[in-house]
Amino acid sequence: MENKIVVGFVAQLYPTKDQVVRLNQWSGSLRFLWNRLLDIEKAEYAATGKFIWNKQLQPIAAAMKYQPGLEWLADLPSCAAQDVSSRIDYTLQRMAKERKVGRDYGFPRPKKKFIREVGIYCSNYISKISSREAKLPKLGRVKLRGGDLPNGRLLGVRIRRDGSRWMLSAQFECARPAPMEATGVTVGIDLGVATLVTTFDGSGFDEITAPKHLRKALKRLRRAERTKSRRKKGSTRRRAQIRRVGVIHRKVRERRKDLLHQISHQLTTKADVLKVETLNIRGMLRNHHLALSVTDAGMSRLIRFCEYKADWRGRRIEKIDPWFPGSQTCSCCGEIHREMKNLKERVMHCDCGNVMGRDQNAAVNHYWYSQEGWNRIGNDVTRMETGDQELAPVPVGEVRIDAGKRL
């Protein structure tokens, strides 16, 4: 598959009332199947200390529809039932690997209604997708609306419930696009929570402030959660309020994803080489002062988007050593400022006369990273040059663009 890539496609389904009833039944059947197979696995492990792997688990799942009282499982597409056993097998294999290295990794959790439900998998052999509708097994034709349909071979389809909506996600095997024309531009990138992206391309800075979609929605989210807590459990009004809470989360998620797609597209279109810092996101999430802002920024997803788009477009991403002190090193003389470890220090004041914001300073250091004499602490570099002109220090806050503006 060197000349092939896998492209995702996401669309919203518009099923009829009868199709919605059937999708709800399938979702409940898969939830029951997951929990029943999980109970079998737990009982087997408690008795013998071994797991039942997928080769033996699939016949057990297929035979359940012949048991008295479980005949309704026969309405499920066979590929969806096999997918449940495959997913349980995957989680158990991961559990076994983690326990070999001494980590406490327990069994997967049982599925609950509306909480981490199993998606309905449909094989590519019995599914077809066009720009306006999808033909799904035992369901027939379902209207859909999404983006441009990829031109390639369908690999698989999964249907999932997102609040009150039904979403379809599919994967296509497509021909690898031709690499984009080289631009000769290298970009140093610094990621943060206040300023989401700071870039330096050798001649100037571009900054995108973090839009903070989740923080802006917290007031509405808290009010909706309080209303939900006052509703009687199991009532229709509580289920309706749960859907309203889900709508708020979905809008935040989609707005964040849309912005990250725009930024990654602009970066991989502009530059041949992207120099990105390696962040310990899990470690940052342990800091309760930063956890919400780090989650709201979506830095890990931005890097993932840049990686696959760079691969498609013939660009190169250079990962910077996580121990490289980009924010603490003066970008003009190379002096280390330990006081910049404190995130409250937003401006670097160096004895050489360099006064620069910490994000801009880090972006410059990332731009020169891996070049001769620049990625070593205590080097003798006293200036940087861009072309024939010396780069003058740029004061903090002088260059700033709003979220969504082109880089």
How far apart are alpha carbons 200 and 273 in whole angstroms?
Answer: 12
Same domain, yes or no: 201 and 261: yes
Position 399 confidence tier, pLDDT thresholds 50, 70, 90 = very low
**Whether pLDDT at 69 is above 50:** yes
Residues 156 and 111 in one domain: yes
Average pLDDT taken over every residue of the chain: 87
pLDDT tops 60 at residue 33: yes
Residue 102 pLDDT greater than 90, yes or no: no
Q: Determine the pLDDT at residue 202.
A: 87
In a domain, 252, yes or no: yes
Tell me how far apart the alpha carbons of residues 128 and 247 are, in angstroms, rounded to a whole number. Answer: 29
Q: How confident is the model at residue 378 (pLDDT cuts 50, 70, 90)?
A: very low
**Do both 118 and 262 map to the same domain?**
no
Is residue 403 predicted with pLDDT exceeding 70?
no
256 lies in the same domain as 392 = yes
Whether residues 159 and 205 share a domain: the answer is: no
Rounded to two decimals, what is the model's pTM?
Answer: 0.83
Same domain for 233 and 114: no
Per-residue confidence (pLDDT) for residue 405, from 0 to 100: 39
State residue 389's pLDDT score: 38
Structural domain boundaries, residue 134: 4-175
- The pLDDT tens digits for 131-171 are 899 999 999 999 999 889 999 999 999 999 988 899 999 99
Which pLDDT band holds residue 222 (cuts at 50, 70, 90)? very high
Strands 273-277 and 186-191: parallel
Q: 226 with 139, same domain? A: no
| CA quadruple 323, 319, 362, 297: dihedral, nearest 10 | -100
Q: Give the pLDDT of residue 404.
A: 37
Task: Return the residue matching tokens 């807590």.
Answer: 229
Q: Which of 140, 175, 210 is the last residue of a domain?
A: 175
Q: pLDDT value at position 63?
A: 93
> Within 10 Å of residue 330's Cβ, how many Cβ atoms?
23
46 and 147 share a domain? yes
Q: How many Cβ atoms sit within 10 Å of the Cβ of residue 366? A: 29
**Interatomic CA distance for residues 75 and 159, integer angstroms:** 16
Whether 178 shows a pLDDT value over 50: the answer reads yes
Element (H, E) at 22: helix 17-48
Segment 16-25 mean pLDDT = 95
Cα dihedral 366, 371, 377, 383 in deg (nearest 10): -80
314-369 pLDDT, tens digit per residue, is 999 999 988 888 888 888 888 888 888 888 888 989 888 889 989 999 999 999 88
CB contact set of 254 (below 8 Å; sequence gap of 6+): none
**pLDDT level of residue 101 (50, 70, 90 thresholds):** confident
In a domain, 169, yes or no: yes
Mean pLDDT of 31-43: 95
State the DSSP H helix or E strand holding residue 170, giving kind and residue range, or none if neither: strand 165-175
254 has a pLDDT exceeding 60: yes
- Which of 143, 175, 207 terminates a domain? The answer is 175
Residues 193 and 332 in one domain: yes
Give the pLDDT of residue 381: 38
C-alpha Rg value of the chain to the nearest Å: 26
Domain presence at residue 21: yes
- 216 lies in the same domain as 141: no
Domain-embedded: residue 384: yes
- Asked, for residue 180, whether it belongs to a domain, the answer is no
Q: Are residues 148 and 281 in the same domain?
A: no
Does residue 377 have a pLDDT over 90? no
CA distance 33 to 22: 16
Distance from C-alpha of 6 to C-alpha of 310, rounded to nearest angstrom: 14
Nearest Cα to 208, choosing from 291, 252, 287, 266?
A: 266
Domain end, chosen from 152, 175, 198, is at: 175
pLDDT of residue 375: 43
Higher pLDDT, 176 or 387: 176
Domain tally for the chain? 2
- 98 and 199 housed in the same domain: no
pLDDT at 369 (0 to 100): 87
